[in-house]
Structure 1
């Protein structure tokens, strides 16, 4: 597809800064790597010479972490089912693990590939584009990189921002580096925004309003994978959970687990039927959270050790990756984390709601402001100011059947009226695929 405007190069200071911090980035990768082989593999994907491509002329989705991967899941699956080769890049380890757990299996093995996004340096990105030769680049939700977008422009590859969201706080951050942000946004081919506030923030930062439209949030079109629903039902039988009252603390950050478990501790000790599943957001914190449970003298089993929930289990540490749907499937109430910690921001509340799980969050949910606000208006979600209030709200969902049913019904109203964004995304991608095919 022909690009009419010349490529606008990124500022010297930005590229110099990347060069300076690159050794620190490599050190950080080494610190979190499980072993030497994992470190070497990640370095190859981040810094080159890159893995050999399974396919050329792919649809390339860049999804930062777990949340963006889940949002893009129905889009990626749609094109894989049609036989399109798909390349997924991630920024985080958890995001890549989630992408591989979803798609690196039959019948998509030959069509799907997932690697880390390389560092945003011009030579590396040029090499990456030359190796993989994508025909379209779709950035999902939040993460935009100046040299990445400039290289797509240089190579005349459509670069579209899908399901875009931008908080007021993030917009202020981009606004502080306007000489970097404005040229970057001007080189986007198109943007589909979740809401008008996001669209306006991008326009204020330099995006051409004629290259954007508001189509709602693709996350409203998600459905629970049937195999996880079936597995949850099987676990209920195998682990004898029919009479347990199960609360899940999902996507938690420090110190959310400790604060919430301290409040839950007397209830767990007094009620043998009560069970808490804890799903930390980041795998490097799994052992840390286990130690929290030990300090609180809570009888804890771990998924990573293939332990099962026993009759006397108080806490089940779901220290695995890519199984969130499974834990929601076991839940009768849940807390979605990243909303009680500092600075917070929140995580996806729609997954538990799709499974009719009453949902509680903390007060800091600015990453999902417009979504949460809609559920607040319809009284389909509970928001607690602190750990004590959140635990009381969770317990109330277990004990008050009428309240639970009301929350679920109101949440379903919001979910149902917001579906349809997925098809609009597909239409846009198809439009640019047709243009690239005819050029």
Structure 2
């Protein structure tokens, strides 16, 4: 099966080149740097020979945000060089925001899992420790890393029931692939259970690393004054647009000046949400990062990445999307941690599989609560809007202390490898 996979990668590689090139035309890939994924001549290696190199690979924004505090902690004494690879365009922009002034932290796009590319990539960069994040499991890369005897960690590993069943159906390949990891640090008890069944040689569970993530506040960006009454709907998918707008109309019966901030999961949908608002005679505005918010706007539709904290820091209540869509039941839920750390009361639908343990923890401390429709959400928000403060500080301290312990334990574990 692995031979077939490698054969197909090589056969379809010319088509992959064409597809990625087409994606540049739709602004889905970096128009100048897309070649980093395809050609060894574009790897643009900058290697500090006097420093050990730690290579982190995280697919996109969620995975990247989870490792930023860890990278900062490892970089405290400026002893290491860091290579961060990602796949998506949005993650590149986020790295530029967080690490633009750090000369020893370099971003590149992750190459296609093609054996000839992998060999050259590893040879040119020569990492001392490799850390793949979440569910990033690329067989050709992993096997070549293992062959070169470079320490390899799967960090905040997420193995769902679906992915476990898939791997379990190809037992010999799964054993060969998962044997390449020197250490797996799972993100949940469920993932720990499945990793054990996949016969991973070493597992250490500390908790979900996403609990350590930082709040990305940019005080120069647009924001709503804390004197205004508003609520936020974050990571909204198209099936939830109607719920957000209908909730606004219901709240408006009691709070005439209410403002609803909608932050879609995919910002290219902003115009569709505005069209929905226009059809209901609601005054809406699409705002990018530096746009001023106009007086009289009822619904604000955010059209930029990395600015969520600017809204949440003065917000009492937030609904987090991808949680009310029945067809996404097995992949539902978006990360609620940033909102919790900023003291927001969190509302979510029943479909939060991706963050089940996090939501259970937040529900336990009354930081989060499940709702089923716009009527329930509007009822809860009406109560919150009359409350003078955000959620209790004691509950937040419990969450922050847990995040700090997870970060410290993970840092200590990585240090054992990079210190070898």
CA contact (8 A) 1:245 1:274 kept: yes
Instruction: State the shift of 1:184 in Å.
Output: 0.8
Name the stretch that deviates more: 137-146 or 28-37. 28-37
TM-score by length of 2: 0.88
Aligned to 2:351: 364
Name the stretch that deviates more: 373-382 or 81-90. 373-382
Q: How large is the RMSD of aligned CA atoms in angstroms?
A: 2.8
CA contact (8 A) 2:247 2:377 kept: no
**Separation of aligned partners in 2, 1:24 and 1:259:** 40
Aligned to 1:151: 144
Q: 2:404 aligns with which of 419, 422, 426?
A: 419
**1:158–1:293 Cα change, 3 Å:** farther
Instruction: State the shift of 1:183 in Å.
Output: 1.1
Q: 2:82 aligns with which of 86, 94, 97?
A: 86
Q: 2:64 aligns with which of 69, 72, 96?
A: 69
**Separation of aligned partners in 2, 1:360 and 1:384:** 6
CA contact (8 A) 1:86 1:113 kept: yes
CA contact (8 A) 2:344 2:367 kept: no
Instruction: State the shift of 1:414 in Å.
Output: 4.2
Instruction: State the shift of 1:89 in Å.
Output: 0.8
**1:48–1:100 Cα change, 3 Å:** same
Name the stretch that deviates more: 281-290 or 140-149. 281-290
Aligned to 1:321: 305
In structure 2, list runs of 5 or more residues that go unmatched.
none
**Separation of aligned partners in 2, 1:278 and 1:37:** 23
Name the stretch that deviates more: 69-78 or 166-175. 166-175
Instruction: State the shift of 1:353 in Å.
Output: 0.8
CA contact (8 A) 1:353 1:412 kept: no
**Separation of aligned partners in 2, 1:203 and 1:118:** 29
CA contact (8 A) 2:53 2:126 kept: yes
**Separation of aligned partners in 2, 1:159 and 1:270:** 56
**Separation of aligned partners in 2, 1:31 and 1:203:** 41
Matched, 1:60 2:55: yes
**Separation of aligned partners in 1, 2:110 and 2:338:** 26
Q: 2:240 aligns with which of 256, 281, 290?
A: 256
**1:124–1:74 Cα change, 3 Å:** same
CA contact (8 A) 1:380 1:409 kept: no
CA contact (8 A) 2:157 2:185 kept: yes
Matched, 1:430 2:415: yes
Name the stretch that deviates more: 135-144 or 77-86. 77-86
CA contact (8 A) 1:146 1:180 kept: no
Instruction: State the shift of 1:40 in Å.
Output: 4.5
Instruction: State the shift of 1:74 in Å.
Output: 0.5
SS at structure 1 position matched to 2:238: coil
CA contact (8 A) 2:323 2:334 kept: yes
Aligned to 2:273: 289
Instruction: State the shift of 1:288 in Å.
Output: 3.6
**1:275–1:157 Cα change, 3 Å:** same
TM-score by length of 1: 0.84
**1:412–1:255 Cα change, 3 Å:** farther
Q: 1:382 aligns with which of 366, 369, 375?
A: 369
**Separation of aligned partners in 1, 2:152 and 2:394:** 39
In structure 1, list runs of 5 or more residues that go unmatched.
1-9
Instruction: State the shift of 1:418 in Å.
Output: 5.1
**Separation of aligned partners in 1, 2:267 and 2:53:** 30
Aligned to 2:91: 95
User: Deviation per CA, 1:146-194, whole angstroms, max 9, x where unpaired?
Assistant: 1121121122211101122323233223323434322110111111123
Q: 1:213 aligns with which of 197, 204, 208?
A: 204
Bigger proportion of residues as helix: 1
User: Deviation per CA, 1:115-173, whole angstroms, max 9, x where unpaired?
Assistant: 22111121121122122222111112222211121121122211101122323233223
**1:147–1:171 Cα change, 3 Å:** same
SS at structure 1 position matched to 2:259: strand
CA contact (8 A) 1:90 1:116 kept: yes
Instruction: State the shift of 1:350 in Å.
Output: 1.1
User: Deviation per CA, 1:279-298, whole angstroms, max 9, x where unpaired?
Assistant: 22224434443434334433
